[in-house]
Structure 1
Amino acid sequence: MLKETPQTNIKQNGKIRLCILLTYFNRKDKTIECFNKVRANSLPENTEVTAVVVDDGSTDGTADALHSQHPWINIARAAGNLYWCKGMHQAFDIARKSDPDFYVWLNDDTMLQPDALARLLATERELRAAAGQAVVVVGSTVDEKTGLLTYGGSRRLSALKRMRFARIQPSDKAQQCDAMNGNLVLVSKEAANIVGNLDPTFEHAMGDTDYALRANKLGVQVWVAPGVYGTCSNNSIEGTYMDESLPFTRRWQLMMHRKGLPWRSWLALTSRHAGPAWPLYFCWPYLSLTLGLYKKKKSI
């Protein structure tokens, strides 16, 4: 059973219904550990937690193990061609049919602190009251070994660098952001009704960035919550298109892969959010790699 703490109920009448959204592929141990951390979270009274997860064609027995240890989770199985954004889109779509009060986007390699969910809910309540409207709240994560910031919210560097974002170091106060990583995000029902679902146009990454940018355009503020909410290590650049030790042809192949910077997804993001000069923003990373200018910093 999820533990309860005697905090003031965020919803005045009835239960607070919170739905965890997650997609995974062949990471059984991490996925189980992730939900063990969810299960250990302390929550306000009358909080009901459910989960919708999409198993994207796993072959390591994750779904069976997850069902055995956490039978309360709704598991949807896919063929293995969804990756992150499409998998999360499907989980979101299923979850919205039950109309929960809040959705929590969660990566299976994000290990929550015991009070993470309660703190996110409290922050959302405070920010929504101050803004007088729906908000989205992002939880920051750090590397388990170094304690350095890994994922969270970010700000646009400048009006002239519309597709370059700097991650926001969390402080003791909430901070508004332009973009976000989808590792840990709290989306209220009201915010979801305005912004909608993640866009399955995005083949793997970039859907979280697009969601935050769309939310801000629609008047739904996106905030980085105070403090840190869990651990999640950065993905290594080794073996990716950012790996300068690889030959150009291999780096180009990796760049075009779903987990790189596939042109269809990048086209959707830049054409929507880079302004009138979006063709230049679209072409720049591919030109940079071709000319050997693309080093260790990604454009998003």
Structure 2
Amino acid sequence: MLWVLMTTFNRKDKTIACIESIKKAYSEDFIVVDADAGSDDGTKEALKKCGMETHILRCNREIFWNGGMRASMSYASIHAAEEDMILLVNDDVVFFPDSIDKLYGRLTESGADAAVGAMCDSFGNQTYGGVRMRSKHFARFELIAPVEEYTYCDTFNCNCLLMSKRCMMNAGNLDAAYVHSMGDYDYGMRMKRLGLKVICSSEFTGECEGNDTAGSWMDKNLERKVRLEKKESPKGLPAGDWYHFVKKNYGLIPACYHSATPYIRILIGK
């Protein structure tokens, strides 16, 4: 059995579109576990009518992505059978037909422990997927393009991650230190340290638009004060989360360096 784990908040149309696309991407029934952060747009009610066994975890509005996915993973760790498969997804992904079946086939044929599905935007440009570390000493990354040859990543975006329950139990849950982002990159780097192999998809698994920098803390057109406020917001690059990520995965000196650079960028308008 496949367990689809997600977290939601007031994106009913996107969430249901995601579930409907999974029905076309995967040839068998599946179980949905959703950690919902108090949606009031009918998301929970619509999920219950999706035609699949669905478990709604009612959470508060402070969980954000990392907290929501932790809740869903914790539930699956207790209730899923040892032989079951786990699919971590973002609810704004629209999967391509047969793509999850293909990803499962690649996972089993390669003998890898997990498989990450590459995402593209509506123009066919890659937005998410497997990630390669460009440096052993600094937090610099690049996306890995999907190719037919078996390609393994150093970490990943969790828009689509397929693994066995056994793999999830070996890797553990996402780090509770993160509020919204960075938990997936951290999880992938932990899996690599544990010797778990994560293979990249051979083609795009679904469509998911990338995050727009306009209006974010990286928007050079905003005033410095506004950029700083956005940076420290849960969906920005909070100082504590970012410092924890770099120190944990690279060490103290890189953590100090990377903690300072966002403020320098804001100060000089870059």
Is this a same-fold pair by TM over 0.5? yes
Match of 2:13 among 14, 18, 29: 29
**What TM-score, normalized by structure 1, do the two folds share?**
0.85
Q: How does 1:235-274 map to 2 (within 5 A)?
A: 235-274=211-250
SS at match of 2:229: helix
Residue by residue over 1:125-161, the C-alpha shift from the partner in whole angstroms, topping out at 9 and shown as x without a partner, is: 1222xxxxx61210001112x111111011111234x
Count of aligned pairs between the two proteins? 268
Could you tell me how far apart the structure 2 residues matched to 1:237 and 1:248 are? 15
**What TM-score, normalized by structure 2, do the two folds share?**
0.94
Structure 2 match to 1:151: 128
Match of 1:55 among 36, 48, 60: 36
SS at match of 1:40: helix
Amino acid at match of 1:226: S
Whether 1:172 aligns to 2:151 is no
Could you tell me how far apart the structure 1 residues matched to 2:102 and 2:52 are? 26
Whether 1:18 aligns to 2:20 is no
Instruction: Say if 1:141 and 1:290 are closer, same or farther in 2 by CA, change over 3 A.
Output: closer
Could you tell me how far apart the structure 1 residues matched to 2:29 and 2:51 are? 15
**Quick check: which one's helix share is greater?**
2
Instruction: Say if 1:95 and 1:175 are closer, same or farther in 2 by CA, change over 3 A.
Output: same
Aligned-pair CA distance for 1:278: 2.9
Could you tell me how far apart the structure 2 residues matched to 1:287 and 1:233 are? 27
Could you tell me how far apart the structure 2 residues matched to 1:193 and 1:228 are? 27
SS at match of 1:175: coil
Residue by residue over 1:2-36, the C-alpha shift from the partner in whole angstroms, topping out at 9 and shown as x without a partner, is: xxxxxxxxxxxxxxx21000111111100011111
Whether 1:66 aligns to 2:47 is yes
Q: How does 1:149-298 map to 2 (within 5 A)?
A: 149-160=126-137, 162-292=138-268, 295=270
**Quick check: which one's strand share is greater?**
1
Could you tell me how far apart the structure 1 residues matched to 2:114 and 2:254 are? 26
Could you tell me how far apart the structure 1 residues matched to 2:88 and 2:52 are? 19
Structure 2 match to 1:79: 60
Aligned-pair CA distance for 1:98: 1.6
Aligned-pair CA distance for 1:276: 4.9
Match of 2:70 among 89, 93, 105: 89
Residues 33 and 111 in structure 1, CA contact (< 8 A), matched pair in contact too: yes
Structure 1 match to 2:92: 109
Q: Can you give the 5+ residue segments of structure 2 that lack an aligned partner in the other structure? A: none
Could you tell me how far apart the structure 2 residues matched to 1:116 and 1:192 are? 21
Structure 2 match to 1:141: 119
Could you tell me how far apart the structure 1 residues matched to 2:52 and 2:147 are? 37
- Segment of structure 1 superposing worse, 209-218 or 192-201: 192-201
Residues 77 and 169 in structure 2, CA contact (< 8 A), matched pair in contact too: no
Amino acid at match of 2:14: K
Could you tell me how far apart the structure 2 residues matched to 1:71 and 1:139 are? 22
Give aligned-pair identity as a percent: 33
Q: Can you give the 5+ residue segments of structure 1 that lack an aligned partner in the other structure? A: 1-16, 129-133, 296-300
Structure 2 match to 1:122: 105
